Amino acid sequence: MNTCCLVTGGAGFIGGHFVRQWLREEEGELVNLDKLTYAANPDSLCEIASNPRYHFVNADIIDEEAVREVLEKYRPRSVVHLAAETHVDRSIADADIFVETNVVGTQRLLEASLDYYRSLSEEEQEAFRFLHVSTDEVYGPWLRAKAANETAPYHPSSPYAASKAAADHFVRAYHRTHDLPVLLTHCTNNFGPWQHEEKLIPMAILAALGRRPIPLYGDGLQRRDWLYVEDHCRALRLVLKQGHAGETYHIAAGSEKSNLKLVEAICDWAERLVSELSYRPIKNLITRVDDRPGHDRRYALDTTKIKTELHWTPEESFSTGLEKTIRWYWENRKKFGLDEEI
């Protein structure tokens, strides 16, 4: 059977890393279907644009007919669904696009994939997988000592989390009702090069390097587990190859940090990179702002299942991943409007 992989949202942050990693380390073709919204970064894909195994389709997952055409043309063995609206603050201000993309878009992608799946031979159906990439935020604030496992109940707090929870339910429903061979993953906060600057780590890095105030919500004691994006992509590829249809897998690094400690670590690295400090230490740029409505205090995922069943562990520590990330932003600071002589 064709070894082609269809990726939705492959011009986004995680999607771009997945696409590049796949073409480096896997065989077969890859099709990237992306709407190219504000969060997309086509520049991150320049290095693979001429790769004969790479195909780009500018389309929206809402457009079911366009998705059907792509499935029919390229005949993929797998669909990796990464296309989503992801920024929590934006979902609080206006939830409509989150419902449209994350819920309706996922359902239409599932419907097109189901019809495609039914057109396959028995051997091709056995190999086919639909991998839906979700988030730890569907579980809501997790304040228990023991981390959430794959059977934890859903309690989403933000419109973003609610939209991803709804998408998860649709994915499971298509498996239970129609026997579509799906896989689900929930990951913790990703970070790495090429991330959109509205996210916490790149925002803090660029503010620190540019000597601008670094906004920090509330007391800064919200806790998150930080996963280097390349480790996440390796886990997704492993789940796609070895995961059991209908199963859910948690992907996390075990690198839980408060937002305050995270930003302070970024400031420490920024001071090492900048030869001449400003009139005050960079940490003094940390500025408290009003907390976000419904801001969850903590997320925590239990990764026992993926470690024991699929033997996955992250390769990067928080420290090595953060160093690589900060150095990338430093080396590419002109892309973000920072003066060459900081």
Q: Burial level of 9, CB count in 10 A (0-12/13-18/19+)? A: buried
Choice among 160, 174, 249, 299 that is catalytic: 160
Quote the CA–CA distance of 45 and 10 in Å, as a whole number: 9
**Pick the catalytic residue: 60, 64, 136, 225?**
136
The question of whether 160 is a catalytic residue gets the answer yes
- Has 309 been annotated as catalytic? no
Catalytic residue among 137, 168, 296, 316: 137
Helical (H) or strand (E) element with 202? helix 200-209
Phi, psi of 252 (to 5 degrees): -150, 160
Annotation says 174 is catalytic: no
For residues 31 and 270, give the distance between their C-alpha atoms in angstroms, rounded to a whole number. Answer: 37
Q: Which residues does 275 contact at the CB level (< 8 Å), separation at least 6?
A: none
Would you list the DSSP string of 224-282? Answer: EEEEEHHHHHHHHHHHHHHPPTT-EEEE--S-EEEHHHHHHHHHHHHHHH-SS--SS-G
Does an H or E element contain 204, and which? Answer: helix 200-209
Residues taking part in catalysis: 136-137, 160
